[in-house]
Structure formats: structure tokens, C-alpha cells
Structure 1
Amino acid sequence: MKKISCYILVTLSLAATSCKKFLSENDPNRTTLGSYFKNQNDFDLAVNGAYNQLRGLYNNKSAWVMGEMRSDNTHYDYKSSDQAVATVNRYNVADFLDDKYNNQTPGKWNAGFNAISAVNVIMDHIDDIQLSESARNSIVGQVKFIRALAYFDLVRFYGGLPIYKRAPLTREETYIPRASVQEVYDLIVADATDAATKLSATTFPQTGRATKGAALTLLGDVYLSLKKYDQAEAALKQVTAMGYSLFQNYGDAFQLNNKNGKESIFEIQFNTGLAIPQANVDASVYNFLPRMANTTVVTGVNYNSITNTGGFNTPTQDLISAFEAGDQRLDASIAIAEGTFNATDDFTATAVKSAVNYTPPAGKVGRPFPKKFLHAHTIGNQTNDNWPVYRYSEVLLLLAESLNQQGKSGEALTYLNMVRQRAFGDALHNITTTDQTALQTVLLKERRVELAFENKRWLDLVRTGNAITVMNDFGVKQKAQYSYLQSGSYNVTQNRLLFPIPNAEMLLNDKLTQNPGY
């Protein structure tokens, strides 16, 4: 009866003495954040969870829709019979017709803040147990790198952001206003700097975790964006002394057996061998192929990409033409699916051809697609490719740009031509101009072809002040080529350099302000 009485008293919220001890005991089956972190392994698992959030930030649909389709690098296969909300919303991002209700751009916001939240939980509890100095430094260094990376991505796409340095515990701490862009960058610099101090130097083979080299690369990229070119140079030159190098052939950088290799600075990890494959595989290439009932000719695996995957991030002729004659990166980056479109704008492939000097034969069309992420796999829509965030070639190009912007154009050529010599297989195509303006134009074009489909192009256009001119000019050509484009498309103004704050966030948090024009 005593046990029954306790349950009755609990239900009635009575404070009988016989039940006080029962009421104050912790439920051993209930885990709270305050009781979770009991050893280093618990922190390591939590850090893995933070890394996992980066998958949604860098290679989900929002990432390439906003980073590549927004630019002159890629477009889409228009299908008049498919006017599903997601499809139209992706079209609208590419055509500069998106608004605050668009359902393709909030994914990046959500993934970024999920990563930040995961980091903050770890930081809030890092002192719950005694860790060795090396273990603590490794954990803090990794998660601060992740937080800096997430905020750096978000601030460039959305502008000023709410800053969370710890996990909010109340409504007042959760629903806060946007900080200024400068305040966000201050946090990014502080986190990346601390990460670089705490993380160990890169060792090979790499594990896929953040290293000092990754943190310094991020810091150099941030400083370049802030036009602090001398500080960018200092950070990036440290990376050049850490043992990284370029693979002999450009395409080798993306081969599965070279994941986390000598050219990798940081990449998002995917592994088809892990449990719950949908969460651990990269299916990007299936989004980039034409809509096909059977992808076997292209991928080696039968998969139907018509209904909800294919037809996006299609390389433009403008991009293909940007590759110079003899540039081996074209063949490694882009391939042609040759075949025919039917009356409903779905594709049947009969062959895969090189994009170099391609001309379709009579009765066939050639549809380009990003080739660098296509490698052998056994299950449709599930590939084992990692997603590159930073490669050593980008370190060299970032360093060359930071030097050129300081008037050190002669020195900049050394790093630029290291990338070009790999691309052409010789030194005959080295750049020689030391005119600062001309070299900056060369560097922007070099980044375009070297980093194609790695979600850099739109950010580069905005960062260098070229987005409005380049995209308006590109839009004129697009509208002349594609009759389905609306007259108001490609009207690129200053307001279009940022994306809208997701409307759902605006409804939840009345302290947020929307970006101008939305």
C-alpha cells in the first residue's frame, strides 16, 4: 500500500514525507545534458554529431542551388509538365525570382544553425568532466572550427545573423535580433583563430577531422573576404608549409581512393558502408543528371531520376567556354550525356562523351553534367563521394589573390601557375602579367574553372563586386536562348546579393528583420 500511496501522492502533487525521497531521485533511464557527458568518448560522439550537421550545409540541395545555380556556372533542364513547388522554387532561385516563401533556401539556414547548436552544447559542457589538455584542445578546436565554418557560410548568404555563443535555455535567449555582419565576422575570426591554436598539424593519411591546416585555410578565406589581405597571406602561407600538395592529375583529387588525401584540406565525409545509408551517402550526381527513367548508361546503375531528383545544376555553355584549349580540367569536370529528349522533356541516354570539342551527331542532343562527383557505386542515388570544402589548390589561389591585392603580383604568379601547370600539364600556359587589375580578372576566372560545382562561384561574384554586372549580362543571353524564362528574371540588383531570411524564422522570432527587397 505504501508504494501505491506514493503514486497517488505524486499524481496529486502532495508532499507526503514518505514520498519525498522518491520524488527527488533522478530517473536512471532519463538522460539529460547535465548527466550525459561522463567521459571523453561521450564528447567524441557529440563532435561527430556536429560534423554530421555540415552535410546539410555544404552539399544538400540548398547548397548547390544557392552556390552554383544562382551563378553563371549552371542552370536546369526545364520541364513544363513539372510545376511542383520544389521544382519551381529551384527554378526561381536560378532566375532571381525567389522570395521569402521559397522552400529551397531555408535548408542552408537550418543546417547552419543546427551545426552551431551542436557546437554550443559541447562548449557549454566541456568542463563537466576532467579531460587531458590534449583531448580538451582537440574537442574545442574542432567544434570552434565547425562553428566558424557555419557562421562564415551563413553570413555570406544571409547577411547579419543572430549570434549564439552558448545553447539558449529560455525563450528570451532563443529569440534574439540579428547582429551586424561585422559582429558575426568578429566571432568567426575569434573561433577560427582559437581553432588554429588548439588543433594539431595535419598528418597523412588524414582522418577527415578538422586540423590546424583547415582552420588556417578558413581564416585566410575569411580575411580575404574582409579585404585584410596581409593577414590572409600570413595565414595561408602557413598552410603551404604543412605538407599538402597537388595530385599530379586534376581528376585524381576527386577519386574515391584519394578521399582525405594530400590535396584535401577539409571535406564533408560520406560512407556508403555505414548503417542508415540514406544519412551517410552523397547523391548529388543524381540531381545533376538529366531526368531519366534509367541512368545505367551514365552511372552504371539503373535508377529513375525523373520524378524528384534529376535535371538540375546543369553546366552552362558559358562555363564550358571558360575552359581554355588544353585545360585538362574540362574533361575531368564535365561530361556529356548523349541521347534524346522525349515529348515530356525526359531524357534517354545512349552514350557518355567528353565535353572537349563536343558536337552532337544528327538526331542526338548532348546534355552536360558535372562529372567530378561521378564514381563507381552499386546502389542508385547512393554514392560514396565526399564533398570538398577546401582543397590545396584553393589555398594557392587564395594566397595568389591576397598577394596580388597587396601589389605583390610577381609573387602571386608563383602560386597561380602551380595550379595552372597541373591543369595544362606544362608551363607553356603560365600567366605572366603583373598588372594588378588584369591579374585579378585572371584569378577570378581561374577559380571558376578550378572550383566548378564546389559551390564557390556565386560567393566569388559577390565578394569581388562582379555579381550584378556578370549576372545581368548572363541573364540577357539566357533569355535569348530559353523562351520559358520570365521577362522579370535576371533582374539582379543590390538587394539580390543576399537571400531572404526564411519566412518561418521571421514568424517564430519577431525580433528578426528581413533583408531589403524581400
Structure 2
Amino acid sequence: MKKIIYTTILMLGLLQVSCKKFLEETNPTSITLSSYFKTENDFNLAVNGAYNQLRALYNSKSAWTMGEMRSDNTHYDYKSSDQAVATTNRYAVADFLDDKYNNQTPAKWNTAFNAISAANVIIDHIDDITLPATSRNSILGESKFIRALAYFDLVRYYGGVPIYPHAPLSRAETYIPRSSVQDVYNFIIADATDAAAKLNTPAFPQTGRATKGAALTLLGDVYVTLKKYDLAETALKQVTTMGYSLFPNYSDAFQLANKNGKESVFEIQFNTALATPQANTEASVYNFLPRMANTTVVTGVNYNSITTVGGFNTPTQDLISAYEPGDLRLDASIGIAEGTFNATDDFTATAVKSVVGYVAPAGKVGRPFPKKYLHTHTIGNQTNDDWPVYRYSEVLLLLAESLTEQNKGGEALPYLNMVRSRAFGNTANNITTTDQTALRAIILKERRVELAFENKRWLDLVRTGNAIPVMTAFGVKQKAQYSYLQSGSYNITQNRLLFPIPNAEILLNDQLTQNPGY
């Protein structure tokens, strides 16, 4: 896909050169990059197109396969009769058996570079016309935020990647080597900093576009990842002054009526009311359900999730057990589809039950599923839920972490306990210890249950240095429970902390090098 984007740009660039060389007049019916941007609305439409690229980056199968199924949060329903390439490749990612030929992990690479390409075209042509200063700042700020967000995803999942500060217009500009991880982070920081300087503070209810708060949250997240905790503290404390707050109940943050509300810092927009709803809907929840010929009992809509391959991103008992007694987030995040599996591992649901204290009755199976994104809808596999990228609760937890790492445990507690007191409905479960080692573990666990199914867990384990020990221990339990797992499953080494550069990209660009171990 990236090849298509860059080839198109290259062709447009060459057309511009050819026209100048051979023609006296410009064909009024042709559109090139140099002639497209004539009005402010042209730029606004291009920015909308760049936002659209983020949909596939954050809600696609690769996003939750790599962000959640790679971790101890979720697994999959094994179906012995389904050995399709896509299915087995997704199994492989979860089991640490994926290789450079895996067809489930390249989508993140492709969609991230599509977003970068879309942002670059806007940035490169921002001065094609004279824009009002406020409009120019907004267009540039949003474009740089999108570019920074896409590069942040790439560097964490793949390591160093090629940096494109401009849309390439030649083969030499397109096929370039990987930059160092540090250089990529420097590029992200520059973009996020500039975006924060250009964008306005949020006004509620928000429109779904990036704001100064979103850019500063991204910057704070980057600094926490780089262990520059003082800089993270500075960025994140600014966000706490911008009017964000937590909804009274955890589940409120995901209600359709609260889209882009006071707890939303940045979320990916979906709207089934648009003219082409299939391209504008969030339907991951259907992948998260067990494979069912009829989903009506669970979703209220009759849909066959066998043919569209349900059975993925299944909450693990390890995650369910991580919720403390009385934590209201458990029931808000996970539901139980009660019913039976047949001989071919397909499910028939007879009821939906609460996960809290659930014990399956005789003859029934209770299959957990993520329910925080399941709300009323009318068409199967088309829901109206947005996808959260940053919520205010994460700002508070990132700030608590940055303070803890600076040995400011006392200052960290109010931010941590704002999240916990909402989760329990009282202050009785507030944390009081200021011990740095204890707080590290508490905050990591708090992020796990607060941000479950938001594609954060694998990145958190890698960032905090816990991926190898945690996933090795988890793998031992998994292999003891599931006989279908191969002996080499969960062999987690340092090399497995990154995903392979897509092999097709290596073949396309001989300047790229593969990650070690692949």
C-alpha cells in the first residue's frame, strides 16, 4: 500500500516536470499536487483524509492483535478446522511464533506510512496559498500531530524506521534506509512540540480533532517512554489545566452520548450515519465475540461471526484476576457470553451474564468478551463506537508514573487515586504507599485494568522492561492449559520485543534491514 501511495506521488511529480518541459499550457482538467490546493477548504478536506488513515491504524485487526493479543490480556478461541492463513498468522502473533512472512503485522506499517504520507502532502504544500494565521496553525498542527502519532506507533512496534520529512517525489527519496530509534524519537518530539504550540486548548464538547491537550499528552507519553520523566511531568501537568475530567462512572467514558466528551483527549472518529457507513464504522467487537452463527443474544443484531472470523482478543483469566474485589471496571469492561460450543468450536449463546463472581452452570460455558465497545446498533458488524487513543485517566496515570520515577511518590498519589476512587466508587481503596518500587508495580497494574482492550498492554510491558519475565510466566500457564499450543510457543527473547519489518518492504526497498531474529 505504501508503494501505491509513493508511486502516485512520484507520478504526479513527474507529470509536473513533463508538463513544464513539453507544454505551453496547463491542462485545466488535470490535477497535480502543485495545483490541487486552491482554497482553505481544500486543505481541510486533505486533513480529514489524513485523520481517516488513523482509523485503520488503531482499530484494525493488526492493532489489537499486536497491542493486546501479544500480551497477557487476551488470547483466542482455537478452531482446529479453521487453518486459513489469516487465522493461523494471528495465532502466531499471540503465541510468539510469527515471522517476517506473517500477514497480520504489516498492516500497521502500511497504515502508519499512509497517514504520514497524507500529512506530508499537506505540510509540503501549506504555503501554496495564503491562509489566515489561525487556519494555517490549525492545519499544520493537526497534520504534525497525525504524523507524530503514526511515527510513535512505528518506532515502538518496529524500532528505527525511514523518516520522511517530506513526501518523496523520486525513487531515491522513496527508497531510503532506516533511521535510528533516537532519530525517530527526535522527529516525533519536534512534530508534537510544534503541534502543541500551534493548536488551541480543547473546547467542550470537542469536535474530534487534535488539540493542544492531545499534542501535549502525546509528548508526555513519548517522554515517559524515553524515561525523560521531568519533561513528561511538565507536558502532562499542562494537560491537567485544560478542563478535562473523569466521568463519574468508568463506563460513561465509552457511551455513545459521551463521544469527544470531557474525558476524551483524542479518539478515532466513527459514524454510521455517514453516506458510506461501512467505511466509517468501528466493528472490532464482532471479532472479539466467540464464533456464532447468530449474535443476537449478545449484540441485539443477528449476524454470523463465524464467516467473518470471531473468536479473537478473548480476555484471559489472568486479566480477569488482575481486577481487585470491588473494582467496578471489571463489570464495565468484560461480559460473559453464556452458552455452548459445538463439535466444530462454534458457539451458541443463550444469555449474557456479569463476569463478577461468575460460575458456569452445569452444561454451559461462560466465554468472556470485551464489552466496553458494545453499544446499541442496528446493522451487524457496524457499530458507532469511537476508538480511544488517549483518555484523561491515562494522562493522570502517566503523570503519576513520571512523578514516581522522580521519587515524588507523595505528589504522584493524588493523580493515581483520582483514577482509583472513580474505579471503586469510593476512597477506601486509595493507595497510600510512597515507596517507589511498590508504586511502579501498582501503576503498571492500574494501567492494565484501566486501559484494558485499548491496545496499551504490550507496549507497557516492553516500555517498563517487564515483557520477557511477565510473558514467559504467562506462557507457562498457557501451555499447561491449552494442548494446541506448540512447544516453541512463548519463547520470548529480546528480539521478540519488536515485530519484523514486513518482508514485502524489504524486497521493495533494498536499503531496509530486518530486525534481529527474523
- 1:88 aligned residue: 88
- 1:216 aligned residue: 216
- 1:337 aligned residue: 337
- 1:386 aligned residue: 386
Provide the C-alpha distance between the structure 1 equivalents of 2:371 and 2:241, rounded to a whole number of angstroms.
31
- 2:359 aligned residue: 359
Amino acid at match of 1:280: N
Amino acid at match of 2:467: A
- 2:142 aligned residue: 142
Provide the C-alpha distance between the structure 1 equivalents of 2:313 and 2:181, rounded to a whole number of angstroms.
29
Provide the C-alpha distance between the structure 1 equivalents of 2:228 and 2:23, rounded to a whole number of angstroms.
59
CA shift for structure 1 position 308: 2.6
**Secondary structure of 1:303 counterpart:** coil
- 2:285 aligned residue: 285
TM-score w.r.t. length of structure 2: 0.96
- 1:374 aligned residue: 374
- 1:8 aligned residue: none
Q: Deviations over 1:464-492 (max 9, x none)?
A: 00000000000000000000000000000
Q: Deviations over 1:54-78 (max 9, x none)?
A: 0111110000000000000000000
CA shift for structure 1 position 162: 0.1
- 2:5 aligned residue: none
Q: How does 1:157-306 map to 2 (within 5 A)?
A: 157-306=157-306
Q: How does 1:54-133 map to 2 (within 5 A)?
A: 54-133=54-133
Q: Does 1:440 align with 2:447?
A: no
Q: How does 1:422-461 map to 2 (within 5 A)?
A: 422-461=422-461
Amino acid at match of 1:491: N
Provide the C-alpha distance between the structure 1 equivalents of 2:124 and 2:141, rounded to a whole number of angstroms.
14
Provide the C-alpha distance between the structure 2 equivalents of 1:163 and 1:37, rounded to a whole number of angstroms.
25
Provide the C-alpha distance between the structure 1 equivalents of 2:427 and 2:128, rounded to a whole number of angstroms.
56
- 1:312 aligned residue: 312
TM-score w.r.t. length of structure 1: 0.96
**Secondary structure of 2:313 counterpart:** strand
Amino acid at match of 2:517: G
CA shift for structure 1 position 23: 4.5
- RMSD over equivalenced CA pairs, Å: 1.0
Amino acid at match of 1:472: T
Q: Does 1:411 align with 2:419?
A: no
Amino acid at match of 1:89: N
Provide the C-alpha distance between the structure 1 equivalents of 2:30 and 2:383, rounded to a whole number of angstroms.
37
Provide the C-alpha distance between the structure 2 equivalents of 1:192 and 1:262, rounded to a whole number of angstroms.
22
Provide the C-alpha distance between the structure 1 equivalents of 2:407 and 2:22, rounded to a whole number of angstroms.
74
**Secondary structure of 1:400 counterpart:** helix
Gaps of 5+ in 1: 1-19
Amino acid at match of 1:174: T
Distance 1:21 1:352, change over 3 A: closer
Provide the C-alpha distance between the structure 1 equivalents of 2:397 and 2:22, rounded to a whole number of angstroms.
65
CA shift for structure 1 position 22: 10
CA shift for structure 1 position 278: 1.6
CA shift for structure 1 position 173: 0.2
CA shift for structure 1 position 276: 1.6
Gaps of 5+ in 2: 1-19
- 1:474 aligned residue: 474
- 2:14 aligned residue: none
**Secondary structure of 1:168 counterpart:** coil
Provide the C-alpha distance between the structure 2 equivalents of 1:112 and 1:449, rounded to a whole number of angstroms.
27
CA shift for structure 1 position 213: 0.2
CA shift for structure 1 position 21: 13
Amino acid at match of 2:334: I
Provide the C-alpha distance between the structure 2 equivalents of 1:374 and 1:201, rounded to a whole number of angstroms.
30
- 1:11 aligned residue: none
Amino acid at match of 2:210: A
Amino acid at match of 2:350: T
Provide the C-alpha distance between the structure 2 equivalents of 1:226 and 1:155, rounded to a whole number of angstroms.
12
**Secondary structure of 2:118 counterpart:** helix
Amino acid at match of 2:137: N
Q: How many residues of Structure 1 are paired with residues of Structure 2 in the alignment?
A: 499
Q: Deviations over 1:226-259 (max 9, x none)?
A: 1000000000000000000000000000000000
Q: Deviations over 1:158-211 (max 9, x none)?
A: 000000000000000000000000000000000000000000011011000000
Provide the C-alpha distance between the structure 1 equivalents of 2:26 and 2:141, rounded to a whole number of angstroms.
33
Q: Does 1:508 align with 2:508?
A: yes
Query: In terms of Rg, which structure is larger?
Result: 1
**Secondary structure of 1:241 counterpart:** coil
Amino acid at match of 1:216: L
CA shift for structure 1 position 220: 0.3
Distance 1:460 1:22, change over 3 A: closer
Distance 1:362 1:33, change over 3 A: same
Provide the C-alpha distance between the structure 2 equivalents of 1:97 and 1:270, rounded to a whole number of angstroms.
33
Q: Deviations over 1:365-391 (max 9, x none)?
A: 000000100000000000000000000
CA shift for structure 1 position 309: 2.7
**Secondary structure of 2:151 counterpart:** helix
Amino acid at match of 2:374: L
**Secondary structure of 1:24 counterpart:** coil
Amino acid at match of 1:77: D
Provide the C-alpha distance between the structure 2 equivalents of 1:246 and 1:402, rounded to a whole number of angstroms.
20
Provide the C-alpha distance between the structure 1 equivalents of 2:472 and 2:99, rounded to a whole number of angstroms.
18
Q: Report % sequence identity.
A: 82
CA shift for structure 1 position 24: 2.6
**Secondary structure of 2:350 counterpart:** strand
CA shift for structure 1 position 311: 0.3
